[in-house]
């Protein structure tokens, strides 16, 4: 009977039958090689090596690209647009605010005391020189004139008496002086006659002076009498009135009328210091009024102050503007455009060519394809253009809207030249 109790317990053992005993015996099983793990490790190694190689290749390729880009950048010549610098005009055009005034203006005061008997004009009336504006009545002035004339007559009579006494003293002195020489009269009598003549001559001089003083007083009173008629000193228009019929006026203190001459308008303007040089009489000007946009009023500079205002550094300038039709009125706001001959040369540069950075204000000037950075000083800004005093000269080619980082000595290619 076959013994089947002995079974292999090792999973690695192999069951076989013994030919001698017909028994089943357990033999050790042979170990199998695990080829799957080795394949996995090799694949990972290959992937790692491949990744490192690819990364190294990409790094090398990037470095090559950077070097090529740097070389290309060093060899790159940008294409730029330029504009020519031009000399400024021979005249400076300046527009400034101004105020109009009358060519002539007078405040008329009473020159005699009394009451307004009749007023003949009112505000807005056009009057001619010598036209009667008002009458002042002053009855006491007539009495003063009568008294002064009577005193003058007394002084004239006194002069006649004094002249007669002087003539008598002169005759007496001439007769007695011969008698004194002959010894018929004493020296004392001769001295009395001589001194009496001198006294009478002095009295005549005093009487003449009194007459002259009284005549002057009569003329003063007569002038005050003439001032009772208030007349216009020149052609013009009444712009103010402060009296009416029956008003009491006092000589030298009562304001009556304001008279202005509007046929010529005097415009006052304050010109800044940087534009005042070259300004003088005869410079052309144009006056514009905002309320009259379709009309200009030409004129000329007629007067300038000899000194600038200390506070504002401006020069007071007056411009006479003909105003025959009365379109302009005194006291209105206007603008004055002055055409001032230029004394200091200046250059005009496009505003787009100006660069402001850590190096200050400058422009990029192109000379034979090479960039030169020139520092400038801006005198005036016109918006699209600026006026500079130094750094450039006429016909210099400046780069418009220069690129960031444009350095001194850079090479550029001029694409198109435009007038300034």
Q: Looking only at Cα atoms, what is the longest distance across the chain?
A: 232
Q: Among 231, 265, 281, which residue terminates a domain?
A: 231
Whether the Cβ atoms of residue 92 and residue 344 lie closer than 8 Å to each other:
no
Higher-pLDDT residue of 48 and 102 is 102
Write out pLDDT tens, residues 303-338.
998 888 888 899 999 999 999 888 888 889 999 999
Task: Write out 234-249 in H/E/C secondary structure.
Answer: CCEEEEEECCCCCCEE
Assigned domain for 250 exists: no
> Measuring CA to CA, which residue among 380, 389, 315 is closest to residue 345?
389
Residue 5 — pLDDT band, cuts 50, 70, 90? very low
So what's the pLDDT on residue 206? Answer: 93
Which is higher by pLDDT, 185 or 224? 224
> Which of 32-36, 107-111, 152-156, 361-365 is predicted least confidently?
32-36
Number of domains into which the chain is organized: 2
Report yes or no on 139 lying in a domain: yes
Domain boundary among 208, 231, 254: 231
Q: pLDDT tens digits for 117-139?
A: 999 999 999 999 999 999 999 88
- The DSSP secondary structure of 243-312, one letter per residue, reads --TT-EE-TTT-EEEEEEEEEEEEEEEEEEHHHHTT--TT-EEEEE-TT-TT--EEEEEEEE-SS--TTT
Kindly state the average pLDDT of the residues 237-254: 93
Measure the CA angle with vertex 96, ends 93 and 100; round to 5°. Answer: 125
Mean pLDDT, the chain, integer: 83
CATH number at residue 138: 1.10.287
Question: What pTM was estimated for this model as a whole?
Answer: 0.55
Report the candidate in 108, 348, 405 with the shortest Cα–Cα distance to residue 230. Answer: 108
* Confidence at residue 3, expressed as pLDDT on a 0 to 100 scale: 46
Q: Which residues form the domain of 177? A: 114-231
> 258-306, pLDDT tens digit by residue?
999 888 999 999 998 878 888 889 999 999 999 998 899 999 999 998 8
Output the domain CATH number for residue 378.
2.40.420.20
Does a structural domain hold residue 214?
A: yes
């Amino acid at each position: 009977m076959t013994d089947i109790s002995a079974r292999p317990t090792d999973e690695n053992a192999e069951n076989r039958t013994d030919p001698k005993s017909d028994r089943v015996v357990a033999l050790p099983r042979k170990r199998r090689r695990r080829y799957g793990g080795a394949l996995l490790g090799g694949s990972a190694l290959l992937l790692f090596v491949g990744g490192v190689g690819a990364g190294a290749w990409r790094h090398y390729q990037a470095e090559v690209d950077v070097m090529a880009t740097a070389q290309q950048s060093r060899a790159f010549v940008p294409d730029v647009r330029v504009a020519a610098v031009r000399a400024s005009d021979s005249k400076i055009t300046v527009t400034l605010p101004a105020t109009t005034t009358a060519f002539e203006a007078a405040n008329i005061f009473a020159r005699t005391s009394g009451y307004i008997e009749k007023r003949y004009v009112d505000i807005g009336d056009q009057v001619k020189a010598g036209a009667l504006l008002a009458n002042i009545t002053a009855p006491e002035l007539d009495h003063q004139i009568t008294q002064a004339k009577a005193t003058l007559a007394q002084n004239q009579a006194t002069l006649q008496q004094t002249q007669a006494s002087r003539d008598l003293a002169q005759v007496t002195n001439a007769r007695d002086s011969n008698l004194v020489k002959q010894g018929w009269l004493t020296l004392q009598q001769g001295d009395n006659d001589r001194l009496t003549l001198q006294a009478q001559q002095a009295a005549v001089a005093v009487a003449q002076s009194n007459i002259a003083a009284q005549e002057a007083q009569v003329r003063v009173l007569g002038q005050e009498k003439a001032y009772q008629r208030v007349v216009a000193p020149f052609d013009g228009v009444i712009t103010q009135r402060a009296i009416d019929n029956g008003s009491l006026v006092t000589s030298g203190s009562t304001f009556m009328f304001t008279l202005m001459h509007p046929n010529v308008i005097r415009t006052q303007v304050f010109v800044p210091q940087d534009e005042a040089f070259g300004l003088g009489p005869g410079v052309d000007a144009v006056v514009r009024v905002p309320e009259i946009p379709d009309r200009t009023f030409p004129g000329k500079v007629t007067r300038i102050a000899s000194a600038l205002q200390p506070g504002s550094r401006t020069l007071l300038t007056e411009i006479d503007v003909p105003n025959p039709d009365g379109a302009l009125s005194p006291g209105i706001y206007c603008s004055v455009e002055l055409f001032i001959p230029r004394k200091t040369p200046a250059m005009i540069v496009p505003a787009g060519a100006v660069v402001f950075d850590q190096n200050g204000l400058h422009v990029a000037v192109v000379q034979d394809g090479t960039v030169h950075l020139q520092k400038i000083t801006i005198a005036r800004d016109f918006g699209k253009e600026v006026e500079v005093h130094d750094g450039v000269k006429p016909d210099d080619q400046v780069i418009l809207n220069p690129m960031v980082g444009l350095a001194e000595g850079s090479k550029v290619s001029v694409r198109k030249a435009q007038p300034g």
